[in-house]
Structure 1
Amino acid sequence: MSTIERTSEDFDSNVAIDIKNITVAFRSYKERPTSLKESLLKFLRTGRLRHYTTFDAISHVSLKLEKGKVLGVIGSNGSGKSTLLKVLAGVIVPREGEVRVQGTVSSLIELGAGFDPELSAIENIYLNGSLHKKTRAKIKSRVKHILEFAELTEFATTPVKYYSSGMYARLGFSVAVDIDPDILLVDEILAVGDERFQQKCRGVFSNFIKAGKTIVIVSHNSDMLEEQADSIALLSKGQLVYFGDPKTAVEMYRDRSYETALTGVNPS
Structure 2
Amino acid sequence: MADERAIQVEDLGVRFRRGRRGGRSIKDIFGGSRRRARPGEFWALRHVSFTVRHGEAIGVVGRNGQGKSTLLKLVAGVMLPDEGIAEVHGGVAPLIEITGGFAGDLTVRENVRLIAGLHGMSKAEVARRFDDIIAFAEIADFVETPYKHLSSGMKVRLAFAVVSQLDEPIVLVDEVLAVGDRAFKAKCYRRIDELLAEGRTLFFVSHNEKDLRRFCTRGLYLDKGALKLDAPIGEVLDAYNADYNS
The answer to whether TM tops 0.5 is yes
- Equivalent of residue 22 in structure 1, options 12, 37, 40: 12
Gaps of 5+ in 1: 1-10, 31-50, 258-266
1:175 has 2:162 as partner: yes
Query: Could you say which residue in structure 2 is the equivalent of 1:41?
Result: none
Task: Map 1:1-268 to 2 at 5 A.
Answer: 12-28=2-18, 53-256=40-243, 268=246
* Structure 2: distance between partners of 1:155 and 1:185: 28
Query: Could you say which residue in structure 2 is the equivalent of 1:39?
Result: none
Structure with greater Cα Rg: 1
TM-score by length of 1: 0.80
| Deviation beyond 3 Å, 4+ runs, structure 1 | none
Distance 1:113 1:29, change over 3 A: closer
SS at match of 1:134: coil
CA shift digits 1:218-251 (9 cap, x unpaired): 1110121022201011112211111111111111
Letter paired with 1:61: V
TM-score by length of 2: 0.87
Letter paired with 1:110: E
Letter paired with 1:167: M
* Structure 2: distance between partners of 1:18 and 1:225: 21
* Structure 2: distance between partners of 1:237 and 1:152: 41
Instruction: Tell me the C-alpha RMSD between the 2 structures.
Output: 1.8
Gaps of 5+ in 2: 21-37
Letter paired with 2:89: Q
Distance 1:93 1:145, change over 3 A: same
Letter paired with 2:157: R
Aligned pair count reads: 229
Question: Deviation at 1:156?
Answer: 1.7
- Give percent identity, aligned residues only: 38
Please tell me whether the aligned partners of residues 29 and 52 of structure 1 are also in contact (alpha carbons under 8 angstroms). no
